[in-house]
Amino acid sequence: MTAKQLLQQHKLKRTSCREGMLELFLASKEALSENELREQLSGSYDRTTFYRSFITLLDAGIIHKIVVDNILTKYALTTPMTREHQHVHFFCTHCETTKCIQTDVEITIQLPEGFHQDSMDILIKGSCNHCKQ
Amino acid sequence: MTAKQLLQQHKLKRTSCREGMLELFLASKEALSENELREQLSGSYDRTTFYRSFITLLDAGIIHKIVVDNILTKYALTTPMTREHQHVHFFCTHCETTKCIQTDVEITIQLPEGFHQDSMDILIKGSCNHCKQ
DNA sequence: GTTCTTGCAAAATATTTGCAAGACG
DNA sequence: CGTCTTGCAAATATTTTGCAAGAAC
Q: pLDDT tens, A10-24?
A: 999 999 999 999 999
Position A30 in a domain = yes
Position A26 in a domain = yes
Distance in angstroms (rounded) separating the CA atoms of residues B88 and B97? 14
For testing contact with chain B, the best of A67, A100, A116 (most B CBs within 10 A) = A116
Contact A111 B117 (CB under 8 A): no
- For residue A70, the model assigns a pLDDT of 83
What CATH code is carried by the domain that includes residue A113?
A: 1.10.10.10
B37 φ/ψ angles, rounded to the nearest 5 degrees: -65, -45
Position B131 in a domain = no
Angle, helices A47-60/A16-27, rounded to nearest 10 degrees: 70
Q: For residue B67, which nucleotide's C1' is closest to its Cα?
A: C14
**Whole domain around residue A73: which residue ranges?**
3-126
Chain C nucleotides with an atom closer than 7 Å to a protein C-beta: 4-10, 14-18, 23-25
- For residue A133, the model assigns a pLDDT of 66
- For residue B63, the model assigns a pLDDT of 96
Position A131 in a domain = no
- For residue A104, the model assigns a pLDDT of 79
Query: Could you tell me if B50 and B37 are in contact, meaning their C-beta atoms sit under 8 angstroms apart?
Result: yes
Residue among B65, B91, B60 at smallest CA distance from B76: B65
Distance in angstroms (rounded) separating the CA atoms of residues B3 and A113? 30
Position B132 in a domain = no
User: Which stretches of chain B drop beneath a pLDDT of 50?
Assistant: none
Query: Could you tell me if B57 and B67 are in contact, meaning their C-beta atoms sit under 8 angstroms apart?
Result: no
- DSSP tag of B100: E
- For residue B106, the model assigns a pLDDT of 85
Q: How many domains does chain B have?
A: 1
Position A23 in a domain = yes
Position B116 in a domain = yes
C-alpha to C-alpha distances, A84 to A18, A117, B6, B75, nearest whole angstrom: 24, 14, 42, 29
Position B48 in a domain = yes
Q: What string of pLDDT tens digits covers the 133 residues of chain A?
A: 899 999 999 999 999 999 999 999 999 999 999 999 999 998 789 999 999 999 999 999 999 999 998 889 999 999 887 776 577 999 999 999 999 998 878 889 999 999 999 999 999 999 999 997 6
- For residue B133, the model assigns a pLDDT of 66
Chain D nucleotides with an atom closer than 7 Å to a protein C-beta: 4-10, 14-18, 23-25
Closest residue of chain A to B69, computed from CA coordinates: A67
- For residue A42, the model assigns a pLDDT of 83
Rounded to two decimals, what is the model's pTM?
A: 0.90
